Structure 1
């Protein structure tokens, strides 16, 4: 097994290579990751909704030692990544992060939310800082309203922003 410090650098280089082969190659890879991740989260979302999402990301927070705040109420879930362990490790390894490294998060989770009827508003904030805010809404109008406060809105394959 590859240690996480090496895995993120490997991921970064894979993203760079795929992007050099064309945007469609990178998008296809994100969709393949999304399809694989359905095994881990799709049923939780379908059966428990926002509570299932909170359960999943609470596990990830512990497993990946994330400096992340999770806030859930009756109509939305918010994950505030204070220090992203993935981008931090890429930067700590003296690797030049792929310019769109953060796209992989929305790239894998966005299609799952589309399939389950939830609405993702993913704010990268700044591609050179390891922090972001992800909000998931039950109501499309509330998601649209939340987009107004986003600094750097992230989309995903098959999704139209705006």
Structure 2
């Protein structure tokens, strides 16, 4: 098994390699990660909604020692990542993080939210700071409103098609 410090560096290099082959390869990889993550979170979302998401990310916060605040109410859940351990480890590497490293989170979370009828607003804030804010809404109008305040709004495979009404 690869230790987490090495895993993040490995992940970073895989992302770089796939991107060198073309954006489509990288996005297909993120979609595969999303399909894998469904085993861990899909039932929680379908049965418990925002509380299920809170339950899932609470475990991640503790297991990965994230500096993460979770806020949940009847209309949305917010994840305030104050210091992302993944990007921090990727930055602490002589090979440098892939420029779009943070896109992998939206790349796996976004498709799951689309599948379950929720709307992700993922603000990476900056590609060089290990912090971000994700907001997930049931109401698409509230998500669109939240997008207006995002500094670096992230996308994911299928999002463009979803926004313009075409099929992904």
Same-fold call, TM > 0.5? yes
Q: Secondary structure at the match of 1:99?
A: coil
Q: Which residue of 1 aligns with 2:47?
A: 47
The offset of 1:93, in angstroms, is: 2.5
Unaligned 5+ runs, structure 2 = none
Count of residue correspondences: 162
Could you tell me the TM-score, scaled by structure 2's length?
Answer: 0.95
In the aligned structure 1, how far is the partner of 2:15 from the partner of 2:59? 26
CA distance in 1, matches of 2:95, 2:57: 27
CA distance in 1, matches of 2:81, 2:54: 14
Tell me the distance in 1 between the aligned counterparts of 2:35 and 2:19.
20
Moved over 3 A (4+): none
The structural deviation recorded for 1:92 is 1.5
Please list the CA deviations of residues 73-109 of structure 1 after superposition, one character each: whole Å capped at 9, or x if unmatched.
1100000000000000011223311000000000001
Partner SS, residue 126 of structure 1: coil
Q: What is the distance in 2 between the residues matched to 1:54 and 1:38? A: 15
TM-score of the two chains, using structure 1 as the length reference: 0.98
Q: Provide the aligned C-alpha RMSD in A.
A: 0.9
Question: 1:105 — aligned with what?
Answer: 105
Q: Structure 2: how far apart are the matches of 1:94 and 1:143? A: 38
Residue 67 of structure 2 is aligned to residue 61 of structure 1 = no
